[in-house]
C-alpha cells in the first residue's frame, strides 16, 4: 500500500517566507501525480518535505498511513531523481545503480541480477562500467532513474527530471517515463513547471502558486474547469485569452443576454473577466464578430493569429489557434466565431459558473 | 609580447635560483669536510669530496631511533587530525547543524594560539599523568594544534561538493556516517591529502615541544636529535654532519610529498563534481 498524504502541512523559512502554505492532498497507490507551478511556488519544497530533506513547520506527512515527520530520509524508503541527477562521480554506472541495494545488504548475486535487468529496461547495459562524466545528459538521466527504480520504494519522487534535456529528447522521454513508472506500479510524485508535461503524463495534477495549492484534479479537469484565473492562465498552451471589459454591454455580440445580465450584476461585486482559449475562437463566415489581423505566428501545423476586435466603444485583443490550412494575411479583416459554451467567467479572479 | 615573456622567464629563473641555491649549497657542503664549510668567503663549488659526514651522522647519534620516533609521532598525529578533522568538516559543511558558524569561529580563534604558549601547563599536566617521554605527550598537542586549520580547509573544500550528492546518498538509504565515508570523503581526497601533508610536515619539523617533553635519548625526535649533534663537539660546530643529518631527514618528507602530490592532482583532474 503505497500512499502519501499531506495533512495541514506548513513549511516556513525564517519569519517571512511561507514556502508551503496549508498543503492538503493525497496520492493513491499507483497514481502519477504532478506538482505543477511556476518557479518558487513551493513544489520542490513539497517534494523535499516528502523525502525528508526538509522538516515540516506544522502538519503531518503520512506514508502508507504512518506519520513519517520524525523519520530521516534514509528511513522513509522513498527514491528520488534529482534535477541535477546527483550521480556519484567517483563510481561507475553499475555502482551508482547498485549502491541503494548494497546499503540494504542485498546478496551480491541478487544485486547483479537486478542492476542488469534495470539497465536493460533503460537501454544502458553498454554503459555499466562508465563513469558519469563520460555520459551524455540523457544517459545520465537514465542512470539516475535506474538508481531509483532498482529499489521497490514506497514512493518515487522526481524533481524536474526532464528540465536539462533538449526539446526533442524531452518530448520523447515523457511517454517513456510515464510507461516506466506505470509498469513498475510505482506511486510517483513528479515536479515540473512545464504544464504540457503535466497534462501529458499525470493521473492527477496539483497546481501550486506562492506555496498555496490552487487546484487538485485530473488533467482534463484542470484544463477545462480551472478553479481560478491563475490556473486558467498557467495551464494551456497557447495561453488562454483573458478579456476584461469596462462596459458589459459591449459583449452583446459574444454572449447571450441572460449571461450579460448575470455578469452585469456580478460586476458590482468586483472585477469581471472572461477567459476563452485560443482554440475556441474560429474563423467562420457565420461569425458575427469582425477582427483585424495584426500578427500571425506560425506554429508548425497551426497558426497563432492575433486579432483586434471592436466591441462598441472598446477594443480588445485576442489570439486564435487555427490550422495552417487557412489562408490569411496581416491587416486582413476576418469574421470570428466565439464558442460561448467554452467560455470561462471570473469574478475577482475566481471562476464562477454562469448560466 | 615577446618581451613580456622574456622578463617572465627571467623572473622565474631568479626565483628558482633563490629557492634552489640553498639546497645546492647544503648538498655540496654535506660532501665536504667541515673545514670547507668554515671558509670565509664561502666556497661555492666542489673542492674535496668525502662521505665522512654521512658516516659520522649515523655513528655519532642515534639517527635511526630519532627517525623512528619522529615517524611514529607525526604519522599518529596526522592520522588523528585527519580522522577527527574530516568528520568535523563534514558535519559543518553538509549536516549544517545549529551553531556551526560559532563553532568554526571558535576554532579559528583557537588556531591563533601557538602551541609553545602552552608549554608550562602542558608540562605540568603531562608530568602529573606520567606522560613525559611518552609518545602521547607529542601526539596529543600536535593533533590539537592542527585541528583548526584542518577543519577550516576541509570544510571549505567539502562545501564545494554539491549538497545534492549528500542528499541523494541519504535518500538512497545511507546513514550520515555512510554518506560521509562512501561519498563525501572519496570526493574530498585532494583536500584531505593536502592537509595531511601539511600536518605531517608541521609535526615532523616541530622543535619546542619535542625538546621539552622528550628528554630521554631513545625518545628524541629528529629535530631535537640533529640540534644535539653540535653538543658533542667542544671546539667547533660539525656543520658537515649537521647538514648531512638534516638532508637525510628531509628525504622521507620529499618522498611522501611526491606520492601525495600525485593523489592530489589526479583527484583534482578527475574533477567531474558535476553530477
Are residue A223 and residue A256 in the same domain, yes or no? no
Instruction: Tell me the C-alpha distance between A70 and A169, whole Å.
Output: 39
- In degrees to the nearest 10, what's the CA dihedral of B236, B239, B244, B249? 90
Among A22, A20, A3, smallest CA distance to A12 is for A20
The answer, yes or no, to whether residue B10 has pLDDT greater than 70, is yes
Among B52, B17, B6, smallest CA distance to B244 is for B52
Residues of chain B with C-beta less than 8 angstroms from the C-beta of A147: 172
Is the separation of the CB atoms in B239 and B34 below 8 Å? Answer: yes
Q: Dihedral sign, CA of A312, A318, A321, A327?
A: positive
Q: What is the mean pLDDT of residues B213-236?
A: 79
Among A282, A278, A303, A307, smallest CA distance to A292 is for A307
- Long-range contacts for A19-25 (Cβ within 8 Å, ≥24 apart)? A19/A45, A19/A211, A20/A45, A20/A46, A20/A49, A20/A211, A21/A210, A21/A211, A21/A212, A22/A59, A22/A212, A22/A213, A23/A59, A23/A213, A24/A213, A25/A206, A25/A213, A25/A216
Residue from A63, A83, A99, A134 whose CB has the most chain B CBs within 10 Å, to mutate: A99
Predicted local confidence at residue A214, as pLDDT:
95
Q: Indicate which CATH number applies to the domain containing B223.
A: 1.10.3720.10
Answer whether A326 touches B (CB < 8 Å): no
Predicted local confidence at residue A263, as pLDDT:
87
pLDDT band at B234, cuts 50/70/90? low
Predicted local confidence at residue B98, as pLDDT:
83
Nearest to B168 among A52, A80, A103 (CB): A80
Answer whether A331 touches B (CB < 8 Å): no
Predicted local confidence at residue B46, as pLDDT:
81
Tell me which of B98 and A92 has the higher pLDDT. A92
Nearest to A132 among B173, B186, B272 (CB): B272
Is residue B22 situated within a structural domain?
A: no
Q: What is the mean pLDDT of residues A112-121?
A: 93
**Contact map slice: B 138-167 vs A, CB within 8 A:** 162, 164-165, 167
**Contact map slice: A 24-63 vs B, CB within 8 A:** 51-53
End position of a domain, from candidates A234, A259, A294: A234
The answer, yes or no, to whether residue B39 has pLDDT greater than 80, is no
Nearest to A103 among B178, B187, B271 (CB): B178
Are residue A117 and residue A254 in the same domain, yes or no? no
Answer whether A120 touches B (CB < 8 Å): no
**C-alpha cell, B30:** 654535506
Are residue A227 and residue A304 in the same domain, yes or no? no
The answer, yes or no, to whether residue B275 has pLDDT greater than 70, is no
Tell me the per-residue pLDDT of A285-311, one tens digit each, with 9 for 90 and over: 888 888 899 999 999 899 999 999 888
CB contact under 8 A, B186 and A74: no
The answer, yes or no, to whether residue A193 has pLDDT greater than 90, is yes
Is the separation of the CB atoms in A245 and A314 below 8 Å? Answer: yes
A270 vs chain B: nearest CA distance in angstroms? Answer: 47
Nearest to A51 among B171, B183, B270 (CB): B171
Residue with cell 603531562: B126
Least confident of B39-48, B103-112, B209-218: B39-48
The answer, yes or no, to whether residue B53 has pLDDT greater than 90, is no
The answer, yes or no, to whether residue A33 has pLDDT greater than 60, is yes
Are residue A83 and residue A155 in the same domain, yes or no? yes
Tell me which of A120 and B59 has the higher pLDDT. A120
Q: What is the mean pLDDT of residues B205-218?
A: 89
Least confident of A93-102, A330-339, B41-50: B41-50
The answer, yes or no, to whether residue B273 has pLDDT greater than 50, is no
A53 vs chain B: nearest CA distance in angstroms? Answer: 7
The answer, yes or no, to whether residue B263 has pLDDT greater than 80, is no
CA angle, residues A160, A165, A166, in degrees to nearest 5: 135
Are residue A253 and residue A130 in the same domain, yes or no? no
Tell me the per-residue pLDDT of A12-22, one tens digit each, with 9 for 90 and over: 998 889 999 99
Answer whether A80 touches B (CB < 8 Å): yes
Nearest to B275 among A74, A86, A103 (CB): A86
Nearest to B164 among A82, A100, A140 (CB): A82
Domain of B162, in residue numbers: 61-227
The answer, yes or no, to whether residue B272 has pLDDT greater than 60, is no
Q: What is the mean pLDDT of residues A197-219?
A: 95
Residue of A nearest to B271 (CA): A89
Predicted local confidence at residue B271, as pLDDT:
46
Predicted local confidence at residue B3, as pLDDT:
84
**Contact map slice: A 126-165 vs B, CB within 8 A:** 131-133, 140, 147, 151
B167 vs chain A: nearest CA distance in angstroms? Answer: 7
Residues of chain B with C-beta less than 8 angstroms from the C-beta of A52: 170-171
CB contact under 8 A, B275 and A89: yes
Are residue A252 and residue A213 in the same domain, yes or no? no
What is the pLDDT of chain A when averaged over all its residues?
91
A76 vs chain B: nearest CA distance in angstroms? Answer: 8
The answer, yes or no, to whether residue B139 has pLDDT greater than 80, is yes
Domain of A263, in residue numbers: 241-352
Are residue A219 and residue A332 in the same domain, yes or no? no
Tell me which of B225 and B186 has the higher pLDDT. B186
CB contact under 8 A, A84 and B187: no
Give the count of domains, chain B.
Answer: 1
The answer, yes or no, to whether residue A266 has pLDDT greater than 90, is no
Are residue A322 and residue A217 in the same domain, yes or no? no
Answer whether B219 touches A (CB < 8 Å): no
Tell me the per-residue pLDDT of A315-354, one tens digit each, with 9 for 90 and over: 889 999 999 888 888 999 999 999 888 999 999 999 998 8
Is residue B120 situated within a structural domain?
A: yes
The answer, yes or no, to whether residue B274 has pLDDT greater than 60, is no
- Could you tell me the maximum CA-CA distance found in chain A, to the nearest angstrom? 78
Predicted local confidence at residue B230, as pLDDT:
67
Are residue A100 and residue A223 in the same domain, yes or no? yes
ipTM here: 0.87
Are residue A278 and residue A191 in the same domain, yes or no? no
Are residue A56 and residue A145 in the same domain, yes or no? yes
Q: Dihedral sign, CA of A109, A114, A115, A119?
A: positive
Give the count of domains, chain A.
Answer: 2
Is residue B164 situated within a structural domain?
A: yes
Predicted local confidence at residue A205, as pLDDT:
96
pTM, 2 dp: 0.83
Predicted local confidence at residue B181, as pLDDT:
93
Nearest to B272 among A86, A99, A133 (CB): A133
End position of a domain, from candidates A234, A257, A282: A234
Answer whether B183 touches A (CB < 8 Å): yes
Are residue A269 and residue A186 in the same domain, yes or no? no
Amino acid at each position: 500500500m503505497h500512499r502519501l498524504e499531506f495533512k495541514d502541512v506548513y513549511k516556513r523559512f525564517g519569519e517571512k517566507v511561507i514556502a508551503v502554505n496549508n498543503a492538503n492532498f493525497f496520492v493513491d497507490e499507483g497514481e502519477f501525480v504532478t506538482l505543477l507551478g511556476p518557479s518558487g511556488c513551493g513544489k520542490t519544497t513539497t517534494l523535499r518535505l516528502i523525502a525528508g530533506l526538509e522538516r515540516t513547520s506544522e502538519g503531518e506527512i503520512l506514508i502508507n498511513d504512518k506519520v513519517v515527520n520524525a523519520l530521516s530520509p534514509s528511513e522513509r524508503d522513498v527514491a528520488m531523481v534529482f534535477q541535477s541527477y546527483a550521480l556519484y562521480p567517483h563510481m561507475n554506472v553499475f555502482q551508482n545503480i547498485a549502491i541503494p541495494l548494497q546499503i540494504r545488504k542485498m546478496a551480491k548475486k541478487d544485486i547483479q541480477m537486478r542492476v542488469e535487468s534495470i539497465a536493460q529496461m533503460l537501454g544502458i547495459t553498454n554503459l555499466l562500467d562508465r563513469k558519469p562524466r563520460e555520459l551524455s545528459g540523457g544517459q545520465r538521466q537514465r542512470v539516475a532513474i535506474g538508481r531509483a527504480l532498482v529499489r521497490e520504494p514506497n514512493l518515487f519522487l522526481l524533481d524536474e527530471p526532464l528540465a536539462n534535456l533538449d526539446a526533442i529528447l524531452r518530448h520523447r522521454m515523457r511517454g517513456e517515463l510515464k510507461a516506466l513508472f506505470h509498469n513498475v506500479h510505482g506511486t510517483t510524485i513528479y515536479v515540473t513547471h512545464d504544464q504540457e508535461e503535466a497534462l501529458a503524463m499525470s493521473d492527477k495534477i496539483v497546481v501550486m502558486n506562492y506555496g498555496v495549492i490552487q487546484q487538485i484534479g485530473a488533467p482534463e479537469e484542470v484544463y477545462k474547469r480551472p478553479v481560478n484565473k491563475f490556473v486558467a492562465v498557467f495551464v494551456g498552451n497557447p495561453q488562454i485569452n483573458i478579456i476584461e471589459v469596462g462596459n458589459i454591454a459591449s459583449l452583446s455580440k459574444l454572449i447571450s443576454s441572460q449571461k450579460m445580465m448575470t455578469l452585469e450584476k456580478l460586476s458590482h461585486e468586483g472585477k469581471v473577466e472572461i477567459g476563452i482559449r485560443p482554440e475556441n475562437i474560429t474563423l467562420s463566415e457565420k461569425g458575427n464578430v469582425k477582427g483585424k489581423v495584426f500578427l500571425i505566428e506560425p506554429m508548425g501545423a497551426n497558426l497563432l493569429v492575433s486579432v483586434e476586435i471592436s466591441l462598441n466603444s472598446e477594443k480588445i485583443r485576442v489570439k486564435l489557434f487555427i490550422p495552417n490550412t487557412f489562408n490569411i494575411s496581416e491587416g486582413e479583416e476576418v469574421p470570428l466565431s466565439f464558442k460561448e459554451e467554452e467560455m470561462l467567467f471570473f469574478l475577482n479572479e475566481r471562476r464562477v459558473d454562469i448560466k | 609580447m615577446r618581451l613580456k615573456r622574456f622578463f617572465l622567464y627571467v623572473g622565474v629563473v631568479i626565483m628558482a635560483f633563490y629557492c634552489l641555491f640553498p639546497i645546492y649549497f647544503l648538498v655540496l657542503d654535506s660532501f665536504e669536510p667541515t673545514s670547507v664549510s668554515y671558509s670565509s668567503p664561502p666556497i661555492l663549488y666542489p673542492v674535496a669530496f668525502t662521505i665522512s659526514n654521512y658516516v659520522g651522522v649515523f655513528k655519532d647519534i642515534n639517527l635511526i631511533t630519532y627517525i623512528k620516533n619522529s615517524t611514529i609521532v607525526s604519522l599518529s598525529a596526522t592520522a588523528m587530525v585527519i580522522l577527527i578533522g574530516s568528520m568535523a568538516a563534514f558535519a559543518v559543511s553538509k549536516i549544517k547543524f545549529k551553531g556551526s558558524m560559532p563553532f568554526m569561529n571558535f576554532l579559528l580563534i583557537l588556531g591563533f594560539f601557538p602551541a609553545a604558549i602552552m608549554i608550562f601547563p602542558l608540562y605540568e599536566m603531562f608530568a602529573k599523568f606520567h606522560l613525559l617521554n611518552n609518545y602521547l605527550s607529542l601526539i596529543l598537542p600536535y593533533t590539537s594544534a592542527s585541528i583548526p586549520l584542518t577543519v577550516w580547509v576541509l570544510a571549505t573544500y567539502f562545501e564545494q561538493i554539491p549538497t545534492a550528492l549528500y542528499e541523494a546518498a541519504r535518500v538512497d538509504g545511507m546513514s550520515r556516517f555512510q554518506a560521509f565515508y562512501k561519498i563525501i570523503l572519496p570526493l574530498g581526497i585532494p583536500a584531505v591529502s593536502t592537509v595531511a601533508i601539511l600536518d605531517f610536515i608541521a609535526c615532523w619539523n616541530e622543535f619546542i615541544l619535542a625538546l621539552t617533553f622528550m628528554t630521554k635519548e631513545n625518545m628524541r625526535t629528529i629535530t631535537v636529535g640533529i640540534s644535539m649533534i653540535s653538543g658533542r663537539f667542544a671546539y667547533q660546530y660539525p656543520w658537515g654532519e649537521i647538514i648531512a643529518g638534516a638532508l637525510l631527514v628531509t628525504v622521507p618528507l620529499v618522498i611522501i610529498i611526491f606520492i601525495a602530490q600525485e593523489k592530489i592532482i589526479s583527484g583534482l583532474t578527475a574533477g567531474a563534481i558535476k553530477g
